[in-house]
Amino acid sequence: MTSKFREQIYNLISEQLGVEGGKITTEAHFADDLNAGSLEMAELVARVQEKLNVELDPLKVKRIETVDDLVHLVFDKLNGLLEEE
C-alpha cells in the first residue's frame, strides 16, 4: 500500500467529514475522534465507493471503526479486483 493511496483516502475523509487533516491518523476512531455517526459513515463510504469506483461489502463496512479499518478494506478490495483481471 502506498502513502499516496492512504493520502487519497485521508483526503476523502477530510472533505466528507469536514475534519482537519491532522486529526486523521491510522488509529483515529470515526465515532470517538472524528465525530462520525452512522449517517456520516454511510455518506463517507458512498463517496469512497464513487470516487474509487469500488463496491464494498456492507457487512465489512459495518465493522469499520478506525481510519485504518477503512483504508485496509478499500485496499484489500481494490487489490482483489486487480488479481481477478
pLDDT tens digit sequence for 22-80: 899 999 999 999 999 999 999 999 999 999 999 999 999 999 999 999 999 999 998 87
pLDDT of residue 1: 67
| Residue 68, domain extent | 3-84
CATH number at residue 10: 1.10.1200.10
Say how far apart CA 19 and CA 22 lie, in whole Å.
8
- pLDDT classification of 21: cutoffs 50, 70, 90: confident
15 closest CA partner among 63, 38, 62, 47 = 47
Q: How many CA atoms lie within 13 Å of 74's alpha carbon, on the beta-carbon side?
A: 26
DSSP state of 29: B
CA 37-76-47 angle, to 5 degrees, is 40
Report yes or no on whether pTM surpasses 0.85. yes
Say how far apart CA 54 and CA 57 lie, in whole Å.
10
pLDDT of residue 83: 57
Q: How many domains, in total, are found in the chain?
A: 1
